[in-house]
Copies of this chain bind each other. A is one copy, B any other.
Amino acid sequence: MDDNHESMRRKPIGIFDSGVGGLTVVGEMNRLIPGEDIVYFGDTARFPYGTRSPERIVTLALQNSRMLLDFDVKMIVVACNTASSVALDELKDKLPVPVIGVIVPGSFAAAKSTKNGRIGIIGTTATVSSGSYQRELTRLNPDFEVFAVACPLFVSLAEEGWTMGPVARMIAETYLADLRLSGIDTLILGCTHYPLLKQTISETLGDNVIIVDSAEATVKRVFNSLSQNEIMNNNGEHGRYRFLVSDSPEKFREIGEKFLSISIDEVKKVTLED
């Protein structure tokens, strides 16, 4: 049993996202639980997820998870808000390892932050339509008032690198006009791309709105789950990070290093079923 446990501790954690955005979660892992090995998969061949149908998103999330299971991971972290919103229940039902998404931790962080109970959430069309954050927040406190806005162009802006300046500002003002009037004191960035636009979003909404990014809250939950299950890797060395993508490894490395404060040494291309 001890040997068994020891080998379980040493297994990597699998993380997937539709692309580079989930690297914000890897960054937090590096900061908070640096001993863990990580296998990260960015599904760049089928990015973006946020405009796809729920059925398609479930199919993609299951394929990605099964691919990570081939690396003998001890846990799967769904870093993608869209996949967490739409596919998490199905993944939990079907996978033989713990599965952690970003919606519950992000909602928990927002609930701790808010003083007036008015919380904004911005994300992709699929995330907002799913109602996942709205459900989780009102489960935490039925008195919360939740204001959700889909901002699909933010993903393209972040990919294009236009994260500040007049174009980003005008798009932010267009999407966030109603939120600005809603009296929220906390905003959840419900898409892993949006932290790149944080400054523009914050300038648009004003200093009195606290911005919550779910990456840190998610990694705290991973930490707790590893502790509770006694499977934290505590051999004292820094974990090994492997990065896999389904398309364009070079582009992933290039954009990825904007997201991550550590360097990305090697990115390997894998082929899924299609």
Contacts and interface: CB of A to CB of B under 8 A. Distances in A.
Interface of A: 45-47, 51-53, 56, 59, 63, 152-153, 155-157, 159-160, 162, 166-167, 170-171, 174, 247-248, 251, 272-274
Contact of A63 (B51, B160, B174, B274): B274
11 contacts: A45-B52, A46-B274, A47-B51, A52-B248, A53-B247, A53-B251, A56-B247, A152-B159, A152-B160, A153-B162, A170-B170
A248 B63 CA distance: 19
What are the nearest 6 A-B pairs in CB distance?
A: A274-B274, A156-B156, A53-B248, A56-B247, A273-B274, A53-B247
A172 to B, nearest CB: 10
A12 B80 CA distance: 41
What is the count of identical protomers in the complex? Answer: 2
B153 A247 contact: no
B157 A166 contact: no
A273 B45 CA distance: 14
A248 B167 CA distance: 30
A157 B153 CA distance: 7
Q: Which of A59, A247, A274 has the most CB of B within 10 A?
A: A274
Q: Which of A56, A63, A166, A273 has the most CB of B within 10 A?
A: A56
B153 A160 contact: yes
Given A45-B56, A53-B247, A59-B274, 9 more contacts: A46-B46, A47-B51, A53-B251, A152-B160, A166-B170, A272-B274, A273-B273, A273-B274, A274-B274
Contact of A159 (B51, B52, B170, B274): B51
Nearest to A165: B174
Contacts of A274: 46, 59, 63, 272-274
A168 to B, nearest CB: 10
Contacts of A171: 167
A153 B53 CA distance: 22
Nearest to A59: B274
Contacts of A153: 153, 156-157, 160, 162
A53 B46 CA distance: 12
